[in-house]
Structure 1
Amino acid sequence: MKSKAAILWETGRPWSVEEIELDPPQQNEVLVRIEAAGMCHSDDHVRAGDGYAALPTIGGHEGAGVIEQVGPGIEHLAVGDHVVFSFLPACGRCRWCASGRSNLCDYGQFLMEGSMISGGYRAHARGKDVGTLSLVGTFSERTVVHETSIVKIDQDIPFEVACLLGCGVPTGWGSSVNIGKVQPGETVVVVGIGGIGANAVQGARLAGAQNIVAVDPVAFKTDQAKILGATHTAASMEEAMGLVQDITRGVMADVGVNTIGVVEGWMIQPFLDLVSKGGRAVLTGMARNVDDKATLGLQMFSLFEKSLLGTVYGGCNPRADIPRLADLYRTGKLQLDELVTRTYSLDQINEGYADMLAGKNIRGVIVNQF
């Protein structure tokens, strides 16, 4: 089957939108027609060379679509099902899945290798095998994926917002709710209001935070954060220091969530300074893979009993949390329409990422038009 996809052939170069050849699904695989795909910063990390991925690869790890074909061994999915791609697979059998921590599934070891979990490639272009980023490759009209990378959803959820449930929404929401463990009445600071930070704000709101401080230098983004639940805004961590001191009478925030697009080591100490004694500082944003040093005052970190917590996927379990978040959207408690700043065609992918890097979007979404 022929399709069209955005391929990264080498780092530092634009996405190349071109025709691919797709093999049919094999054991425990399905063919999905992709209706919408979110444009997450993580894909640009790979394009820029900040993170590793085997190349060439089809980008995209947020997406939603319709199953068009099922391979052998598929029992609980059928042609016509609406599905959300989970950028982390969940096998259901490894130690982590069995203990309720499927965001750490052992299948995660295959995320950036490009080939299928069962081996080999299903996409080909220019006479070469082409991998799929995060085992899904949603910057495409169609893709073949393993069943562990998709979650069935109800058909009333629009694809343009459903696609965000595969990464940005659960990662941000879970950073506040699951990892930060925000409690009613607490003060939360979210640093970096993009597709992840916007949902950390929402998670804090839904968890009952009294004060939610959204920090970002782009006024458009902090304005959007107010719509999503922020009670206060600041343009920088330095500016937020005085603000948080004032609203907490010097105690500082109970929880901090750092979702900056590119985290650097020097940012850790000012981020921790925003958090109170005994507070929880959640590091969700990605650093460059060569950045392995952080500035941290060890004595006060210990004496003030602060916690610095890393997270992937916001500690969410995709098979449980994607439907739960869809239900919260359906009942009006979770705002998803407000996250989609602009939609693009697949051919406009490089324009969409330029807008993201310029701070114009909370989330850009590619919409396929068949």
Structure 2
Amino acid sequence: MSSASDHAVLRTQAAVIRGPNNVKVEDILLDPPAANELLVKIERVGLCRSDWHALVGDTKIAMPSILGHEASGVVESIGPGIQDIGVGDHVSICWHPHCGECTYCSNGEHSLCLEGSRIPLGPQMDGTFRRHTPSGEAIGAFCMTGAFAKHTVVHRASVIKVDSSVPFDIAALCSCCVPAGYGAATSLARERRLGESDAVLVIGTGGDGINIVQGLRAAGIGAIIAADASPLKRELAPRFGATHVIDWTEPGAADKVRRITNGLGVRALFLATPAVVLDDATLALVASGGDVVVTALSRQPQPSAAFAFAPLVRRHIRMSFVGYGGRSMRDTVPEAIEAAMRGSIDVAGLITKRYKLDDILQGYKDLDDGKILRGMVHPWD
């Protein structure tokens, strides 16, 4: 087993961000992993909208930094204290670190660990940096992962070991967008006992939304209404389980939902895009006793809601804001991978275009223009 002490500083390459939309592939120096850390050779990285928010300046992060968190790779060396992962093991890299000791972690709610508040700041879990320019300038790692690179050093808390039979594409996407959507949908369906007689509306069928659709199909929901402004996403939605597809920007979209549900409304509404503002008219589509689940990150300072509370209270509408599927990644990531490997959900089909490391800006332009569902970066191409 190769330990960190066996390795010197590694010269590698990464896409470094130095300002909004200012990303360039640079040579960097990567220190060996410290205690409870691993050196990972990155094989795949998904183009997640969360990185886009940082790229364009919506999410404020320390600069310079390296984005990328929805990733998979192979362990090349380990630091002191790592016992359960070895060199050559395959891993999914997750965006939310956790300490393992706080109240949230003790309750198995790792995605609520307060370590998550430090993900825009750049340093590792121990507060120091592993990435530097050849001249010595420290470079941060967004989400403590910095996966838009050929190699990265991450804490044990940021990785989940996966079987080597799992394709890198699946291991990467199942670290973020798949469990975020699939987990949110299946959790709600179990809790509220939704099934074949129910209708659910999903507004926004990008990374989160399309996997909400997949989760609803897996849960046996009878009517799954996918709403999106993108022609590509509307075209693809039935492939992933949508029974009805509508253009939410067209006049009369709400009337179509009413017709589909025979005027009863939907048992649940998932908002998975920041482009739609929740208002009274939209919320009126939810049947009494139903749920509104928000998974989208809004562009700031754009409002994400403008509605009256009284009608929701009278009709017993429950509203929740759910990140990462609402559960620990220690549970949702393996569940998503298992579902993908047995064919219950289509993960590989989410990828509509592949990019090189120096094509990240173009990839995010394609994402923002609605031209791709999920882009996949190959750092070694």
SS of structure 2 residue aligned to 1:30: strand
State the one-letter code of the partner of 2:153.
V
SS of structure 1 residue aligned to 2:211: helix
State the one-letter code of the partner of 1:253.
V
Partner deviation per Cα, 1:180-211 (whole Å, 9 max, x = no partner)? 64621221111111111110100111111100
State the one-letter code of the partner of 1:155.
S
Pick one of 352, 361, 365 that aligns with 2:363: 352
**Structure 1 residue 291: deviation in Å?**
4.1
**Structure 1 residue 116: deviation in Å?**
0.6
**Structure 1 residue 347: deviation in Å?**
1.3
The answer on whether the counterparts of 1:34 and 1:64 sit within 8 Å (CA) in structure 2 is yes
Matched, 1:215 2:227: yes
Partner deviation per Cα, 1:236-286 (whole Å, 9 max, x = no partner)? 0654422221122211111111111x356x434444233111111111111
State the one-letter code of the partner of 2:184.
S
Specify the alignment match of 1:224 in structure 2: 236
SS of structure 1 residue aligned to 2:126: coil
SS of structure 1 residue aligned to 2:68: coil
State the one-letter code of the partner of 2:96.
L
SS of structure 2 residue aligned to 1:113: coil
State the one-letter code of the partner of 1:98.
S
Specify the alignment match of 1:254 in structure 2: 267
Distance in 2, Cα, partners of 1:44 & 1:64: 19
Across the two proteins, how many residue pairs are aligned to each other?
Answer: 367
Moved more, 270-279 or 22-31: 270-279
| 1:233/1:56 CA distance change after superposition, 3 Å | same
Moved more, 217-226 or 18-27: 217-226
Matched, 1:335 2:346: yes
SS of structure 2 residue aligned to 1:324: helix
SS of structure 1 residue aligned to 2:207: coil
The answer on whether the counterparts of 1:160 and 1:367 sit within 8 Å (CA) in structure 2 is no
SS of structure 2 residue aligned to 1:224: helix
The answer on whether the counterparts of 1:341 and 1:363 sit within 8 Å (CA) in structure 2 is yes
Distance in 2, Cα, partners of 1:164 & 1:239: 35
Distance in 2, Cα, partners of 1:367 & 1:293: 34
Matched, 1:152 2:138: no
Partner deviation per Cα, 1:294-313 (whole Å, 9 max, x = no partner)? 31122211111111211111
SS of structure 1 residue aligned to 2:218: helix
With the length of structure 2 as denominator, give the TM-score of the two structures: 0.92
Identity across matched positions, percent:
35
**Structure 1 residue 14: deviation in Å?**
3.0
Moved more, 351-360 or 25-34: 351-360
Distance in 1, Cα, partners of 2:186 & 2:275: 21
Specify the alignment match of 1:46 in structure 2: 54
Specify the alignment match of 1:66 in structure 2: 74
Specify the alignment match of 2:86 in structure 1: 78
Moved more, 224-233 or 213-222: 213-222
SS of structure 1 residue aligned to 2:213: helix
The answer on whether the counterparts of 2:98 and 2:111 sit within 8 Å (CA) in structure 1 is yes
Moved more, 136-145 or 103-112: 103-112
SS of structure 2 residue aligned to 1:196: helix
**Structure 1 residue 325: deviation in Å?**
1.3
Partner deviation per Cα, 1:69-91 (whole Å, 9 max, x = no partner)? 10011111110010001111233
Distance in 1, Cα, partners of 2:327 & 2:12: 32
Distance in 2, Cα, partners of 1:263 & 1:215: 12
The answer on whether the counterparts of 1:37 and 1:63 sit within 8 Å (CA) in structure 2 is yes
The answer on whether the counterparts of 1:256 and 1:271 sit within 8 Å (CA) in structure 2 is no
Moved more, 242-251 or 290-299: 290-299
With the length of structure 1 as denominator, give the TM-score of the two structures: 0.95
The answer on whether the counterparts of 2:202 and 2:224 sit within 8 Å (CA) in structure 1 is yes
| 1:218/1:292 CA distance change after superposition, 3 Å | closer
SS of structure 1 residue aligned to 2:202: strand
Moved more, 293-302 or 63-72: 293-302
Specify the alignment match of 1:283 in structure 2: 294
Structure 1 gap ranges (5+): none
Specify the alignment match of 2:138 in structure 1: 129
Structure 2 gap ranges (5+): 1-9
| 1:239/1:198 CA distance change after superposition, 3 Å | farther
Distance in 2, Cα, partners of 1:232 & 1:275: 17
**Structure 1 residue 177: deviation in Å?**
1.9
Q: Within 5 Å, which residues of 2 pair with 1:22-41?
A: 22-41=30-49
| 1:77/1:115 CA distance change after superposition, 3 Å | same
Distance in 1, Cα, partners of 2:320 & 2:280: 14
Matched, 1:236 2:255: no
The answer on whether the counterparts of 2:325 and 2:332 sit within 8 Å (CA) in structure 1 is no
Specify the alignment match of 1:311 in structure 2: 322
CA RMSD between the two structures: 1.7
